[in-house]
Structure 1
Amino acid sequence: MNRRLGYGLLLLAGLFTAASGAVRGFAFAPLSGTYFEVPLDVLLAQGLLVAAVGFAAYGAYLLVFGFAASRTTNKRRLHDLRNVLRFVFIAAALVGVLAVATRQYVGLLFSLGIVGFAVTFALQQPLFSLIGWFYIMVKRPYQVGDRVSIEGSKGDVVEVDFLVTTLWEINGELVSSHQPSGRIITLPNSVVLSSHVHNYSWEGFPFVWNELTVQVAFETDLEFARELMVEEADDYLGDRMAERIAAYRERLAETPVELEVRDRPTVNVVQQESWVELRLRYLVHPRQGSRVRNELYERILGRMNDNPDRVAFPVSRSR
């Protein structure tokens, strides 16, 4: 459908161009007058050329984007390509329209430079947001589909436009535990130039480390409790975590950072004032964090309740 429309718009642009030439080449009696001291035939011819430029730019955009869309099914790449093509063709169409309307093709470049210098002062924030969009396209701090946190706002990126980034909020004031709140957050792209961007699911490695904490009494057999937690986590996560760790090590190998990374879940012991915390550490996709934590907690708590002689809970907690 888009290709047919694109070809149709290009054909229409050709017809408008031919009509403009006909108006210039032939003297029509109804067009012998003037409008604000501009001959009507010249005014009509210029108007037809302006329309032809607009139709040609939009038709070419549809054809180029349609060709690219038929070569890939990656929604992220298509989203970014669509925005880049829009920017290129809109800029080209504006330059073409101004050039045709003023018939000053060389002087237009100097005029654009002067106007651009003035616009820089008048529209600083939109300009910074446009620069931020270029930075996002080149450096890729995030892209559509990523889960990010920017200036205290956290959510999933659903749109990266020329000036703003749109998030589907998670957490926030209404919900917790990394659940969607149903609200939309709009951020100017300029924030990436001056703020920290936390990306939880970037394309290179879309996983994060997560922790599940269980509080037990000092009388607990800590070795047994630790092994119990590791067994349940290993049984639940299976070989998926080992595969993710392998990918994680490959990413680490590309950097000068040296870390000890284990293939399986681990448990750290932290002593508190009147109890001991057992912190299970494992790798998970950020959008599955709450579900995985809940299911692991139910499995671990069930096993611990089955062994009251080896696992004791703090006195302040009911079993």
Structure 2
Amino acid sequence: MRRRLGYASFALAVLALLAGSAITARQPDIGSVAGTPLWVVASKSLLALGITFGAYGLYAFVLGFLTRRTPDKRRQHDIRNVLRLLFLAAVLIAVLGVITDQWVGVLFSLGVVGFAVTFALQQPLFSLIGWVYIMVKRPYQVGDRVAIEGTKGDVVSVDFLVTTVWEINGELVTSNQPSGRIVTLPNSVVLSSHVYNYSWEGFPYVWNELPVQVAYETDLDYARELMVEEADDFLGDEMADHIADYRERLAETPVELEVRDRPAVNIVQKESWVELRLRYLVHPRRGQRVRNELYQRILERMNEEPERVKFPVSRNR
């Protein structure tokens, strides 16, 4: 589809440029507008259209060429945005140059206008700077799960001025489930706010905890071993592979951490019960499914041993 549009744009560009050149060569006396001969207006309009169609055709071909060689959809999104900005700037300068016949003056005027826009449109300018920062530093990209200024969700688009996020959680749902709402954030927020990336390209995994409350009469060693066995059986090997990648990333930094490559259980004492917190590694988009599966497995095993695993009973009346 993009290739056909490119061919059609090139054809229209050639026709417009030929028509504009023909009018310029003949210079027919067909009247004037505000002291300017109509043939001049017509020829420059056609030349401007030719430049616009030609630039779009070139944009379509370049974009198609680069996206075919870049299977990653995230990279395709970035390439499309960068090319769009470059071609828009080039077309604007070329069209104004053709209309005014003052190429140097056009560049100078754009500089003056840009200086004025800096003061008049500060927020959009900051958002554009934020977009450049996102492209260069990569705090997040399309497809990442992020949390920014109270909004949590999956990034679906990063345009020049705004980032579009498919919301999860929010006011409508819980447990890291999609709400169905779209949230639009100005790119300038990355310059002044914390950005939490749950699935960055270097290591798209997070640690989760599954708390299970048991009574003080429980055999804690048995309960801990039971939880570790179920978690290790369900995702232990997968977790170990990902931890190996994490350690490689960690070795590139000055940070020294002790990282376990299998699930583990931590104990937290509460007023009326003991909380066993199962710690494991998971992809953020699988977090709730894994949590549900682990809880069901662990609860079934614990119910098989009612003498060794006891649950807290509320004494409130």
Task: Give the deviation of 1:11 after TM superposition.
Answer: 3.1
RMSD: 1.1
- Deviation per residue, 1:121-164 (Å, 9 max, x gap): 11111111111111111111111111000000001101111111
- Deviation per residue, 1:139-196 (Å, 9 max, x gap): 1111111100000000110111111111111000110000000111010111011000
- Deviation per residue, 1:57-77 (Å, 9 max, x gap): 111110000111211221111
Give 1:19's aligned residue.
19
8 Å Cα contact 2:143/2:156 also seen in 1: yes
Aligned with 2:179: secondary structure? Answer: strand
Cα distance in 2 for residues equivalent to 1:312 and 1:66: 63
* Residue 251 of structure 1, aligned match among 244, 249, 253: 249
Cα distance in 1 for residues equivalent to 2:154 and 2:4: 34
Cα distance in 2 for residues equivalent to 1:287 and 1:39: 65
Alignment of 1:1-319 (within 5 A): 1-29=1-29, 31=30, 33-316=31-314
Cα distance in 2 for residues equivalent to 1:216 and 1:268: 13
Please tell me the residue identity of whatever aligns with 1:208.
V
Please tell me the residue identity of whatever aligns with 2:105.
G
Task: Give the deviation of 1:10 after TM superposition.
Answer: 2.1
Cα distance in 2 for residues equivalent to 1:11 and 1:255: 55
Task: Give the deviation of 1:24 after TM superposition.
Answer: 1.2
Please tell me the residue identity of whatever aligns with 2:21.
G
8 Å Cα contact 2:263/2:280 also seen in 1: yes
Task: Give the deviation of 1:201 after TM superposition.
Answer: 0.6
Please tell me the residue identity of whatever aligns with 2:5.
L
Task: Give the deviation of 1:283 after TM superposition.
Answer: 0.1
Cα distance in 2 for residues equivalent to 1:185 and 1:99: 40
- Relative to structure 2, which stretch is displaced further, 3-12 or 169-178? 3-12
Task: Give the deviation of 1:274 after TM superposition.
Answer: 1.6
Task: Give the deviation of 1:218 after TM superposition.
Answer: 1.2
Cα distance in 2 for residues equivalent to 1:67 and 1:274: 65
- Deviation per residue, 1:268-295 (Å, 9 max, x gap): 0111112111100000000111110111
8 Å Cα contact 2:236/2:263 also seen in 1: no
Cα distance in 1 for residues equivalent to 2:9 and 2:199: 40
Cα distance in 1 for residues equivalent to 2:285 and 2:5: 39
Aligned with 1:167: secondary structure? Answer: strand
Please tell me the residue identity of whatever aligns with 1:25.
A
8 Å Cα contact 2:127/2:160 also seen in 1: yes
Listed as ranges, the gaps of 5+ residues in structure 2 are: none
Aligned with 2:165: secondary structure? Answer: strand
Cα distance in 2 for residues equivalent to 1:211 and 1:80: 35
Cα distance in 2 for residues equivalent to 1:80 and 1:109: 27
Please tell me the residue identity of whatever aligns with 2:27.
A
Listed as ranges, the gaps of 5+ residues in structure 1 are: none
Please tell me the residue identity of whatever aligns with 1:265.
P
Task: Give the deviation of 1:28 after TM superposition.
Answer: 2.4
- Relative to structure 2, which stretch is displaced further, 71-80 or 176-185? 71-80
Q: TM-score normalised to the size of structure 2?
A: 0.97
Cα distance in 1 for residues equivalent to 2:127 and 2:154: 19
